[in-house]
Structure 1
Amino acid sequence: MKALVLAAGLGERMRPLTEHTPKPLLAAGGKPLVEWHLEKLAAIGVREVVLNISWLAGRFPEVLGDGERWGLRLHHAYEGPTPLETGGGMLRALPLLAGPDGSDEPFIAVNGDIWTDYDFSRLPRQPAGTAHLVLVDNPAQHPGGDFVLGAEGRLVENGAPRLTFAGIGVYRPSLFERWREVVGDAEGAHDDPPRFKLAPLLREGILRGTVGGEHHRGQWTDVGTPQRLAELDARLGRAAGE
Structure 2
Amino acid sequence: MKAMILAAGKGERMRPLTLHTPKPLIAVAGVPLIEYHLRALAAAGFREVVINHAWLGQQIEDHLGDGAQFGLRIVYSPEGEPLETGGGIFRALPLLGDEAFVVVNGDVWTDYDFHAIPRQLNGLAHLIMIDNPAHHPAGDFVLENGVLSDAKPGAATLTYSGIAVLAPALFTGCQPGAFKLAPLLREAMAAGKVTGEHHRGHWVDVGTHERLQEVEQLLAVAG
TM-score (norm 2): 0.96
Equivalent in the alignment of 2:52: 52
Equivalent in the alignment of 1:95: 94
Where do 4+ consecutive residues of structure 1 move more than 3 Å? Answer: none
C-alpha distance after superposition, 1:131-167 (max 9, x if no partner): 000000000100000111012x111224421110000
> SS state of the match for residue 212, structure 2?
helix
> Could you tell me how far 1:121 is from its partner in structure 2?
1.0
Counterparts of 1:1-242 in structure 2 under 5 Å? 1-80=1-80, 82-98=81-97, 103=98, 105-151=99-145, 153-159=146-152, 160-179=155-174, 193-240=176-223
Q: Which amino acid aligns with 1:213?
A: G
> SS state of the match for residue 162, structure 1?
coil
Q: Quick one: structure 1 residues 158 and 12, their matched pair in 2 at CA, closer, same or farther if it must change by over 3 Å?
A: closer
> Could you tell me how far 1:64 is from its partner in structure 2?
1.2
CA contact (8 A) 2:140 2:151 kept: no
Equivalent in the alignment of 1:186: none
C-alpha distance after superposition, 1:47-70 (max 9, x if no partner): 110100000011112211210011
**Which residues of structure 1 form unaligned runs of 5+?**
181-192
> SS state of the match for residue 20, structure 2?
coil
> SS state of the match for residue 128, structure 2?
strand
> Could you tell me how far 1:43 is from its partner in structure 2?
1.2
Q: Which amino acid aligns with 1:133?
A: L
> SS state of the match for residue 92, structure 1?
helix
Cα distance in 2 for partners of 1:239, 1:3 equals 27
Cα-Cα RMSD: 1.1
Aligned residues: 221
C-alpha distance after superposition, 1:67-99 (max 9, x if no partner): 00111011110011x31000000000000001x
TM-score (norm 1): 0.89
